[in-house]
Amino acid sequence: MPTSKAQQKSVNKYINKAYDRINLTVPKGYKDEIKAHAESTGESVNAFIARAIAEAMERDRAEDSPKD
Protein backbone atom coordinates (compact mmCIF):
# COMPACT_ATOMS: atom_id res chain seq x y z
CA MET A 1 0.00 0.00 0.00
CA PRO A 2 1.57 3.32 -1.02
CA THR A 3 2.08 5.98 1.62
CA SER A 4 0.17 9.23 1.48
CA LYS A 5 1.91 12.57 1.05
CA ALA A 6 0.94 13.51 4.62
CA GLN A 7 2.49 10.29 5.95
CA GLN A 8 5.67 10.86 3.91
CA LYS A 9 5.88 14.42 5.21
CA SER A 10 5.49 13.20 8.79
CA VAL A 11 8.22 10.57 8.41
CA ASN A 12 10.58 13.10 6.80
CA LYS A 13 9.91 15.57 9.61
CA TYR A 14 10.76 12.92 12.20
CA ILE A 15 13.94 11.87 10.36
CA ASN A 16 15.11 15.48 10.09
CA LYS A 17 14.48 16.01 13.80
CA ALA A 18 16.02 12.75 15.06
CA TYR A 19 18.93 12.08 12.70
CA ASP A 20 21.94 13.77 11.13
CA ARG A 21 22.93 12.99 7.57
CA ILE A 22 26.46 12.35 6.31
CA ASN A 23 27.24 12.13 2.60
CA LEU A 24 29.80 9.44 1.87
CA THR A 25 31.82 9.26 -1.33
CA VAL A 26 33.59 6.00 -2.21
CA PRO A 27 35.54 4.84 -5.27
CA LYS A 28 33.51 3.36 -8.16
CA GLY A 29 32.58 -0.25 -7.47
CA TYR A 30 33.15 -0.01 -3.72
CA LYS A 31 29.47 0.73 -3.08
CA ASP A 32 28.55 -2.69 -4.49
CA GLU A 33 31.18 -4.34 -2.25
CA ILE A 34 29.82 -2.54 0.81
CA LYS A 35 26.25 -3.50 -0.08
CA ALA A 36 27.18 -7.16 -0.61
CA HIS A 37 29.03 -7.29 2.70
CA ALA A 38 26.16 -5.66 4.57
CA GLU A 39 23.69 -8.10 3.04
CA SER A 40 25.94 -11.05 3.97
CA THR A 41 25.74 -9.97 7.61
CA GLY A 42 22.00 -9.34 7.44
CA GLU A 43 22.36 -5.56 7.79
CA SER A 44 21.36 -2.57 5.75
CA VAL A 45 24.19 -0.50 4.27
CA ASN A 46 23.36 2.26 6.76
CA ALA A 47 23.43 -0.10 9.75
CA PHE A 48 26.71 -1.64 8.59
CA ILE A 49 28.42 1.74 8.14
CA ALA A 50 27.10 3.01 11.48
CA ARG A 51 28.34 -0.16 13.24
CA ALA A 52 31.74 0.05 11.55
CA ILE A 53 32.13 3.68 12.65
CA ALA A 54 31.00 2.90 16.22
CA GLU A 55 33.43 -0.03 16.47
CA ALA A 56 36.33 2.06 15.14
CA MET A 57 35.58 4.89 17.57
CA GLU A 58 35.35 2.46 20.50
CA ARG A 59 38.65 0.83 19.48
CA ASP A 60 40.34 4.23 19.12
CA ARG A 61 39.12 5.32 22.57
CA ALA A 62 40.43 2.08 24.10
CA GLU A 63 43.83 2.64 22.49
CA ASP A 64 43.94 6.23 23.78
CA SER A 65 42.94 5.38 27.36
CA PRO A 66 45.77 5.05 29.89
CA LYS A 67 46.83 1.51 30.75
CA ASP A 68 47.17 0.40 34.40
* Separation of alpha carbons 26 and 33, rounded Å: 11
Q: Is residue 57 part of a domain?
A: yes
Do residues 42 and 51 lie in contact, with contact meaning Cβ atoms separated by under 8 Å? no
* DSSP structure class, residue 3: P
* Separation of alpha carbons 64 and 51, rounded Å: 20
Q: Is residue 39 part of a domain?
A: yes
pLDDT tens-digit map of 20-64: 999 999 999 999 999 999 999 999 999 999 999 999 999 999 998
Question: What's the structural domain count of the chain?
Answer: 1
Q: Is residue 65 part of a domain?
A: yes
Q: Is residue 64 part of a domain?
A: yes
Q: What are the phi and psi torsion angles at 38 (to 5°)?
A: -60, -45
pLDDT tens-digit map of 6-27: 999 999 999 999 999 999 999 9
Q: Is the pLDDT of residue 3 over 90?
A: no
Q: Is residue 33 part of a domain?
A: yes
Do residues 34 and 48 lie in contact, with contact meaning Cβ atoms separated by under 8 Å? yes
Structural domain including 37 reads 27-68
